[in-house]
Structure 1
Amino acid sequence: MHEILKEYQVVLIEKKQINNDPILNSSVWEKANCLTDFCSPWKNDSFSKIEFKALHDHENFYFNFRVFDTDIYIDQKDNSFLSIGNSDRVELFFRTNESLNPYYCLEMDTSGRIMDFKALPEKNFDFNWKWPKKDIEVKTSKDVVSFIVEGKISIQSLKDLNLIQNNTIEAGVFRAKFALVENLQYEPTWISWVNPNTETPNFHIASSFGKFVLMK
């Protein structure tokens, strides 16, 4: 029996006009559906509002996280995956099917560093795998109330990885928020679009995914 996945509709826009800086300008983002129904099932603490938006134009899939948080923690020891993994970040996972064999993870911190890897079930991670550089771009920005992580991924790369089927991408949308607890120790709050119904935080599980429907 197939699970019924939570759904987000990705609005189709006209092909992007080339401009030098932002991934998309703010007037274009206004056309997107705004996803805000995130949860943190493992903690009772409140967390900052998150707005996630996505668009596509047949050539690229565009995404935009706006997180209403200005107390950002970045581990700047180095640019290793370990360092990114200890930083406030947003995450997009894409899977080929519910067996998670394989799925692909993009974890992006507020400075634009990307932890990209291929994964198999039971948290079997291949950190040598990289999303092709020419097929992904990420930009970050901040204002007085929030930070933004936005990017674009080529539709061709998603197809090459067998991640688009019937105009649908099965995806997880997540956030890790680090807060100082004591003795300079930072602890994460794990936030997910789909409640995976696990006892302890786990995004690397089939029940944490929903689906993005690429509208025509």
Structure 2
Amino acid sequence: MEQNAKTYEVHLIANEKLKITGKGDNILWKDAVVLSNFISPWSSENPSRIEFRALWDKNYLFFCFKVYDTNIHIDKKDNSVYSIGNSDRVELFFRPDRSLNPYYCLEMDTEARIMDFIAYPNKKFDYNWNWPENDITVKSSKNDTSFTVEGAISIESLKKFHLIKGDKIETGIFRAKYNSIDNKNFEPTWITWINPKTETPNFHTPTSFGILHLMP
């Protein structure tokens, strides 16, 4: 783990069940800590407000992104990695340790499409790898002020990939925002919870990760 790494407390759901709808409107979410101090270290513009929440129970890690942005760019050519990778999205990266050998990436757009892959140092990505289908659920919604991406990941799968160490999960939390250059071409603004302190945008580095602390 990084020394003095930022930590987000994930509160435990004791006796109730959290149903994923894509709206993030379950009453249980009121018990989650709101993480909103996201930044874009490589851009002079302040990003739209992002609220990230997480909860857990004995079976699942639950997460919810609410992004106060309605100017959404999405590439709908197909459901390929290329298409999702050229769309506004939110991202969760998980690693067993700072070696990043390997680490696991979940990139989810506003249509709840998932670009999931295993990665290795120096941005070596294996897009043929997928998070086990029965171990992840992602849903999304939009309204007049924001979009929401809500999901659940099984604790069993996190343990299988050696991602839970005691009560901690080393995690990167990100967003990619695409802005129009000339009404035809779009360029991304990269937004992160942790400033990795790289000269150019880079989430695929040890310094971009914080800690999700599973509270008892």
- TM bucket (normalised to shorter chain) is over 0.9
Is the partner of 1:35 in helix, strand or coil? Answer: coil
Correspondence list, 1:1-216, <5 A: 3-17=3-17, 21=21, 25-182=25-182, 184-216=184-216
Runs of 4+ off more than 4 Å: 18-25
Unaligned runs of 5+ in 1: none
CA 1:30–1:205 in structure 2 vs 1: closer, same or farther (change >3 Å)? same
CA 1:184–1:158 in structure 2 vs 1: closer, same or farther (change >3 Å)? same
* 1:15–1:58 CA contact under 8 A, matched in 2: no
Task: State how many pairs are aligned.
Answer: 216
Is the partner of 1:65 in helix, strand or coil? Answer: strand
* 1:167–1:215 CA contact under 8 A, matched in 2: yes
RMSD over equivalenced CA pairs, Å:
1.6
1:117-172 Cα distance to aligned partner (Å, 9 max, x none): 00111001111111000000000011110000010000000000000001100000
The residue identity in structure 1 corresponding to 2:58 is H
Unaligned runs of 5+ in 2: none
Question: Shift in Å at residue 3 of structure 1?
Answer: 2.4
The residue identity in structure 2 corresponding to 1:197 is K
Q: Percent identity?
A: 55
d(CA) in 2 for partners of 1:177 and 1:69?
10
Question: Shift in Å at residue 45 of structure 1?
Answer: 1.1
Question: Shift in Å at residue 16 of structure 1?
Answer: 4.2
**Normalising by the residue count of structure 1, what TM-score does the alignment of the two structures yield?**
0.96
Is the partner of 2:83 in helix, strand or coil? Answer: helix
